[in-house]
Amino acid sequence: MKDSSKVLGFIGVGVMGEFMCANLIRSGKGDVHVFDVQPEPVGRLKEIGAIASESLHQLAQDTDVVFLSLPSISQVEDVCLGKNGLFSGDSSRIKYVVDMSTSDVTRTRELALALQKRGVTLIDAPVARMREAAKNGTLLITVGAEPDLFEMIKPYLETMGSDIVLCGPTGCGQVVKIMNNMIVFMTVQALAESLVIGKRAGVDPALMFDALTKGSADSFVLRNPGLKALSKDTFPEKTFPTEYAIKDIRLALTLAEDGKVDAKAAKLTHSLLEQTRDAGFVKEYYPVMVKLIEKGYA
């Protein structure tokens, strides 16, 4: 039986969002209204019980809590406050917006203040881990909210993630997620460099990475982008492309600058990712940076 106390909305059902939304629908926590500019995933979600909204305006009239899974803070701002956004009219019933995107911290906090003036609370709840975790409902979700709001929203987040962590007030969920991604990108660069060094010294990359999982170099990054992409020289599109990685590590560098930290290692990884993009690897899975290491990047 569905909990009808709150009507839910979900905007942005792309590579990660579709799985997240599907898990929310299947949980029976309430009716879920869905909007996306791409009709195909909306159609698939309708088959399992979603209610398709024709516009953001319609979704705003029909829902109490809205979850966002969008590429960046620019899309989040536009969806909320743009000309045809959720709060562009006078008839929105939304009381809570939960941003599950990876978004700029300062702009997240500014958006929270703008929405607060409209009687709406913004909760940042970005997700970590890969597409398989989104499908299985085992994401890490780092939340920026006051404790009472965290407890209110947690049952919904638990349908999408297995680890739900309150990180502090508004924006703190984004801080933790951005640091997670920064560390992952830097570790992938270390793995890519070790692969090229080991290969040129005569060791098979797959064998070396498998051996490293048995030692102190073992990590989630080694077992996933390392073994599944780098060692196989496979970098598919629609996974986590280079352009997304650049966006996220720029967010980390902005935080470093704000805190007056000279993040030398992160700057090096950012430079390598930009060179990877400039070499034409824009949509490919970002560990494709190994191609630049093999050629001897500047």
Pairing of strands 139-144, 127-128: antiparallel
Which one of the listed residues 29, 177, 247, 291 is annotated catalytic?
177
Residue 64 identity (one-letter amino acid): D
Diameter over CA atoms, the chain: 67
- Residue 177 annotated as catalytic: yes
Beta strands in 120-256 (DSSP E): 121-124, 127-128, 139-144, 161-168
- Cα–Cα dist 265/182, whole Å: 10
By residue count, the chain amounts to: 298
Say how far apart CA 28 and CA 24 lie, in whole Å: 7
Contacts of 185 (CB under 8 A, 6+ apart): 245, 248, 249, 266, 269, 273, 286
> What long-range pairs does 217-221 form, CB within 8 A, spacing at least 24?
219/187, 221/184, 221/187, 221/188, 221/191
The residues annotated with a catalytic role in the active site are 177
